[in-house]
Amino acid sequence: MIAIDANLLIYAHRNDSPWHEQAYACVSQVAEGVTAWAMPWQCIHEFLSIVTHPRIYSKPSSVDLAIDAVEAWLESPSLVVLTETPDHWQHLTELLRTGRARGPLVHDARIAALCIQHGVTELWTADRDFGRFLGLKIRNPLVG
């Protein structure tokens, strides 16, 4: 199962992103397909936070527009939304230690732990920091 990181969701949503067309095609491909794909709730929250932030975008997305985007993804019948399970803490602490995650990397460790515990085989992301978390294959579909 493929999981999609927030940065690809942001690029797919924002027409002003230089990676918009490629990211939109990637997200559409999985969302319209029949194979299960995943999004961690943390990535949905991060998407909403970033695209509506006036310090990040001079013309941020409206809350309604951002919610509409999330609702469209949630309508995909093949989507699995990843949430914490009772053994999440065990997965997270192991990744925090082995990945030497500190500060903002703790957020990435949470996403990686969710992916691993839910059997995600590949995380699509443009964030190279995920490479530090053993047990999770990462791929940037925006580059060759």
Helices first, then strands: H and E counts in the chain: 6, 5
Instruction: Tell me the pTM.
Output: 0.93
Contact 57, 1 (CB under 8 A): no
User: What's the confidence (pLDDT) of residue 18?
Assistant: 95
How many Cβ atoms from other residues are within 10 Å of residue 23's Cβ? 24
Query: Is 94 among the domain residues?
Result: yes
Kindly report, residue by residue over 22-55, the tens digit of the pLDDT.
999 999 999 999 999 999 999 999 999 999 999 9
Among 98, 76, 62, smallest CA distance to 30 is for 76
Torsion sign (Cα): 111, 112, 113, 114: positive
CATH of the domain at 61: 3.40.50.1010
Q: Is residue 22 part of a domain?
A: yes
The verdict on residue 144 lying in a domain is no
The count of structural domains within the chain is 1
| Per-residue burial over 35-51, b = 16 or more CB atoms within 10 Å of its CB, e = otherwise | eebbbbebbbebbbebb
Does residue 21 carry a pLDDT above 80?
yes
> CA 102, CA 81: separation in Å to the nearest integer?
26
Instruction: Look up the domain containing 92 and give its range.
Output: 2-139
From CA 78, how far away is CA 58, in angstroms rounded? 34
pLDDT tens figures, 50-104: 999 999 999 999 999 999 999 999 999 999 999 999 999 999 999 999 999 889 8
What pLDDT sits at residue 22? 97
Maximum Cα–Cα distance across the chain: 41
